[in-house]
Amino acid sequence: MKSITFFFTICYLITYGTFAQKNINTEVYKSYDSLVGNFNKELYNGTEFTDLYLNTDGSFRYLNGFSYTSGSVTYKGAYYPDVLLRYDLLEDNLIVKSNDNLSVFNVKLIPQFIDSFSLYNYNFVRLPLTNLGLKGNSFFQSAYQGKTLELYIKHVKKKKDKALPSGLQYRFKEEYNFILKYNATYHLINSERELRRLFPHQKEEIKTFYRTYKILRKSNPSQFKINLIKYLDEKTSK
């Protein structure tokens, strides 16, 4: 009872503080976590995750490395800030790590219960109804939200193995699929041809953009596509 009373006292004080509303919510969640502990939360009631491909050439199946990073996730309608997350691009799963006084374990979250999550300054959403036939659990980076166009990026890792005297060694390579939402329909726009077909009145502009920013397209394909869609959005929204 003392813990419950203390929790509601925290909520009352924070509610009437001077922080912004989002900061208020975050502080309330943190206070709740400190009282009930991570072990009992709904977030950690998933399937334990085990990585079977640890013998690699230095590459990794996850977004931006092996390590967990602090992020946030909306799961079963509840928002969880400042949790340890790792995004598995090989099987398109979000993994959360519990690190409390009772145990340390890795949990694979149930994809259907994930609305969105953020890590490494990327924002991801689940879009199960794109009707594009892409494999995975329908997690997409929300890369650009414009007036008439929305760009989503599907991050994927492909696995190859190599036989060595010590056993199989694995190599992972990242690939991207670019999805454009235009006129309430999702379109795959991986190639220049697909974009020109979608925007026939901007064929020359698209061709010029590809030619002008050729170096960026090869070095950072995601940023290139974001810049291009932003450019087209300004054209189509006039």
Model confidence over 139-162: pLDDT tens digits? 999 999 999 999 999 999 999 999
Choose the weakest-confidence range: 31-35, 162-166, 183-187.
31-35
pTM summary value: 0.81
90-110 mean pLDDT = 84
> What is d(CA 105, CA 99) in angstroms, rounded to the nearest whole number?
7
Question: By percentage, how much of the chain surpasses pLDDT 70?
Answer: 80
More confident residue, 182 or 5: 182
> What is d(CA 93, CA 138) in angstroms, rounded to the nearest whole number?
10
What separation in angstroms does the CA of 73 have from each of 11, 59, 81, 82, 83?
A: 21, 26, 7, 9, 8
Helices (H), the chain: 2-15, 21-36, 192-198, 203-212, 214-219, 221-236
Q: What is the pLDDT of residues 24-79, one digit of tens each?
A: 455 544 544 554 454 346 788 778 899 999 999 999 999 999 999 999 999 999 99
Residues contacting residue 101 through CB under 8 Å, at least 6 positions apart:
37
> What is d(CA 48, CA 65) in angstroms, rounded to the nearest whole number?
20
| Pair 156, 190: CB distance under 8 Å | no
* C-alpha 125, offset from chain centre: 7
The pLDDT of residue 101 is 56
The pLDDT of residue 100 is 65
The pLDDT of residue 45 is 75
C-alpha dihedral, 144 to 145 to 151 to 156, nearest 10°: 60
The domains of the chain are located at 1-36, 41-189, 191-238
Residue 103: band (very low, low, confident or very high) from pLDDT cuts 50, 70, 90:
low
The pLDDT of residue 8 is 39
Q: Assess whether pLDDT exceeds 50 at residue 6.
A: no
Q: Assess whether pLDDT exceeds 70 at residue 14.
A: no
Question: By percentage, how much of the chain surpasses pLDDT 90?
Answer: 72
